[in-house]
A and B are shown apart, each in its own frame.
Chain A
């Protein structure tokens, strides 16, 4: 597609359940980022993929959070045993590869509500 696509747009889950959030980046973009945004707050970096390099996982808040990027394209963010404090909007962005100083393009986000 023309832009970054995230699914689902909204997800309500029960505490303790696992959830998977999906991101389809812009075709050809080798860099992919996940951020978390709590209500009324800024963007918290979670994880970053660049090509075939090992991802930068330094922002993942706990071992309940993990992410994969298959074939250098689609990415899935998984949250295991969800807690109420995981409720937030999860944003994905993609960007052209290293050496090209361009902006990142964001999807519309997935609003996760843990009840």
Chain B
């Protein structure tokens, strides 16, 4: 299958600190990117998205950065809380010509109290 992560990397942060989760995407033609959060036993949930004509987008406590030159995405979470503990996935997709949604390997975020 495409883009399956093996043995998810883990990021451990102290409650209240900022978290940065990184993702490398594969297709230079992708023009829309999404970050998902997956809690144990649940399906992935949307966090924030960004289009390829942008390099930064902010939401509530979250910021996504896009570097198309090196095909890199990052998710920044400000003032990380225990409820942020989950697995985070980035996803990429094209526009009209290719609507397939491909996920990157995930990162497990652990928040220490």
A residues whose Cβ falls under 8 Å from a Cβ of B: 4, 31, 33, 35-36, 40-46, 48, 50, 56, 58-59, 61, 91, 93, 95, 98-99, 101-109
Main SS at interface, chain B: loop
**Roughly how many angstroms separate A83 CA and B108 CA in the complex, as a whole number?**
29
Among A31, A101, A105, A109, contact of B46 (Cβ-Cβ < 8 Å):
A105
Q: Which size class do B's interface residues fall under?
A: 20 to 34
Interface residues of B in 1-55 (CB under 8 A from A): 1-8, 31-32, 34, 36, 41-46, 49, 51
Once A41-B4, A59-B1 are accepted as A-B contacts, the answer to whether A50 and B99 lie under 8 Å apart by CB is: yes
Among A33, A36, A99, contact of B101 (Cβ-Cβ < 8 Å):
A33
Q: How far is the CB of A86 from chain B (nearest CB, A)?
A: 13
Identify the interface centre among A45, A91, A98, A103: most chain B CB within 10 Å of its CB. Answer: A103
Once A93-B101, A107-B43 are accepted as A-B contacts, the answer to whether A42 and B95 lie under 8 Å apart by CB is: no
| Contact residues in B for A46 (Cβ distance below 8 Å) | 1
Number of A-B residue pairs having CB atoms within 8 Å of each other in the complex? 86
**Roughly how many angstroms separate A44 CA and B2 CA in the complex, as a whole number?**
6
**Roughly how many angstroms separate A59 CA and B14 CA in the complex, as a whole number?**
38
Identify the interface centre among A33, A102, A104: most chain B CB within 10 Å of its CB. Answer: A104
B45 and A106 contact, CB distance less than 8 A: yes
Once A41-B5, A46-B1 are accepted as A-B contacts, the answer to whether A56 and B46 lie under 8 Å apart by CB is: no
Any chain A CB within 8 A of the CB of B105? Answer: yes
Q: How far is the CB of B52 from chain A (nearest CB, A)?
A: 10
Identify the interface centre among B1, B2, B44, B99: most chain A CB within 10 Å of its CB. Answer: B99
| Contact residues in A for B42 (Cβ distance below 8 Å) | 108-109
Q: Can you offer 23 A-B residue contacts whose CB atoms are under 8 A?
A: A33-B100, A35-B103, A36-B1, A41-B7, A42-B6, A42-B106, A43-B3, A45-B2, A45-B101, A45-B103, A46-B1, A48-B100, A61-B1, A93-B43, A93-B101, A98-B99, A101-B31, A101-B51, A101-B93, A103-B46, A104-B91, A106-B36, A106-B44
